[in-house]
Amino acid sequence: MRILIAAAGSRGDVAPYTGLGAELCRAGYDVTLATTDTFAPLVRDAGLGFRRLPADTRVRGSVTGNRELMRTAAAFITELGQGFADVMDDGTDLLLLSATTAPLGWHLTEATGTPSLGVYLQPTAPTGDFPPVVTGSRSLGRPANRATGRFALRMADRVYEQAAAKLRHRLHLPPASPSQMRRRQERANWPILHGFSTALVPRPSDWRAGLEVVGNWWPHQEPSETLPTDLEDFLRAGPRPVLIGFGSMAAGDGERLSEIAVQALRRAGLRGILQAGSAGLAADGNDVLTIGDVSHALLFPRLAAVVHHGGAGTSAAALRAGVPAVTVPVTADQPFWAGRLAAIGAATDPIPFRSLTAERLADSLHRVVKQQTHSRAAAKAAQHLMTENGAGQALKAIQQLTEG
C-alpha cells in the first residue's frame, strides 16, 4: 500500500514526518514524503521516497509580525498550490496531510476519491480551552477563545483563496471556497491526528469526534549517528553548557543576537553553544562553541538548559530530554508553545523576541539553571512523553482506516 505524506514549511514543519514515515515503512507501507527541495536529504536519509513541492521556505526567516506573516504565508501557499496537482499519482492509496497542506490536499481527494487523514503538528480546531495558537494571546475565556478560534480559521482560509481557485480549475472541479471545503470536512468528522504531547496540550473536551492527540512524531535518526568531534570535546571539557538557537527564525539578526547571547552566558557564569541557524549566530572563545545542525535527541540530554524560539519541535525535544528552557518566541505558534512550557514549569516566562536583552536573558538563565524547580518539571514531563508512542498510535489509526 502506497502512502503519500504532504508537508511544507520550515524544518520543524517537515522533520517530524520523517520519523512517522519511517515507522510506517517498518510496518510494510511504501511511503513517499512530498515537501520542498530543501528537505530532500532529510527525506531520503529516512529511507522515504521524495516528491518535490514547489515553494521556497527560506523567505520566511525574518518575519516577526502577524501581518507580515499573513502576507508571506499567502505568497508561499500560492506558490505551493501551483504544483500541488502533480504531487499525487494514480498509485497513491492514502494521503496524509499536514495543517499547511490539508486545505490544498482536500481538493485532490475530491478529484481522485483517494482517502486522506490529517497529521497536524498544531491544534487548529477552535476550543474554549485556549485561544488560537497563531494569535499568541492569553486566554480570553471559553466563549471568546472559541470565537477567536473560528475567526483565525477564516483568516487562514483567506490565505488559500487564490491557490485553491487555481487548483480546482486545474482539477476540473466546480468552484468551492476554502471555507466551504473546511466546513465540509468538519461535517464529515474528517479524522486528524495531532503529533504533540498531552503533557503540553491535553485533548480539549469540546473538540468534535475525529480529532485525536497521539503524542510526538520524532525526526528520523540513524542508530549509528554521533555528535561532531569538536562538539563532543566541548561537552566533555567542563560543566553542562546551555544551547542558544533560533532555528529558522531571525534571519539577519545574527550579530546582535550573538552579542546578547555571549554577554548573557558570561553574566550568568555559564558555558554556551550557539547554533547558527537562519540567524547565523556565531562566537569564539574557550567557553562558547558555534555549531550547525545537529541531532536534538543526541545533544539535548547533555545540556543544562536550552534557549530557543518556542517552535513546536524544539519545545518537544527539550521536554523529551528533561531539560528546562528559556523561550524567546518570534512569531506564529511560537508564543503558544512557549506559554505551554512555562505553564507546566519546564521553562521560565517567555521573553518576547523584540524585548530580548543580555540582562533579561542572563536573569532567566540564572533562574532556570540554578533553581531546580524548572529542571524537576522538565524531568516530570519527560517521563510523561516516554509513555506516549505518537508514531505507533498513528500507525494503528492508519491500519484501522485502511483495513477496517
- Of the CA atoms within 13 Å of residue 49, those in its CB half-sphere come to 15
Q: Is the model's pTM score more than 0.85?
A: yes
At 66 the pLDDT is 57
* Inter-residue contact 279 to 60 (CB < 8 Å): no
Q: Are 271 and 264 in contact (CB under 8 A)?
A: no
What's the confidence (pLDDT) of residue 67? Answer: 65
Residues 6+ apart with CB under 8 A from 270: 239, 241, 242, 304, 365, 369
Angle between helix axes 358-370 and 372-386 (nearest 10 degrees) is 70
Write the pLDDT tens digit of every residue in 97-109: 999 999 999 999 9
In terms of phi and psi (left: phi > 0; alpha: psi -120 to 50; beta: otherwise), the region of 172 is left
How confident is the prediction along the chain (404 residues), in pLDDT tens digits per residue? 999 999 998 888 999 999 999 999 999 999 999 999 999 999 999 999 999 998 765 544 444 455 666 677 777 888 888 788 888 888 899 999 999 999 999 999 999 999 999 999 999 999 999 999 987 778 889 999 999 999 999 999 999 999 999 999 999 999 999 999 999 999 999 999 999 999 999 999 999 999 999 999 999 999 999 999 999 999 999 999 999 998 877 677 888 899 999 999 999 999 999 999 888 889 988 899 999 999 999 999 999 999 999 999 999 999 999 999 999 998 888 999 999 999 999 999 999 999 999 999 999 999 999 889 999 999 999 999 999 999 999 999 999 988 76
Residue in the block written with cell 545540556: 303
pLDDT digits (tens, 9 = 90+) for 221-269: 999 999 999 999 999 999 999 999 988 776 778 888 999 999 999 999 9
Largest CA distance in the chain: 65
At 214, is the secondary structure helix, strand, or coil?
coil
b/e map of 8-19 (b: 16 or more CB within 10 Å)? bbbbbbbbbbbb
pLDDT of residue 251: 72
Query: Which amino acid is located at 374 in the chain?
Result: H
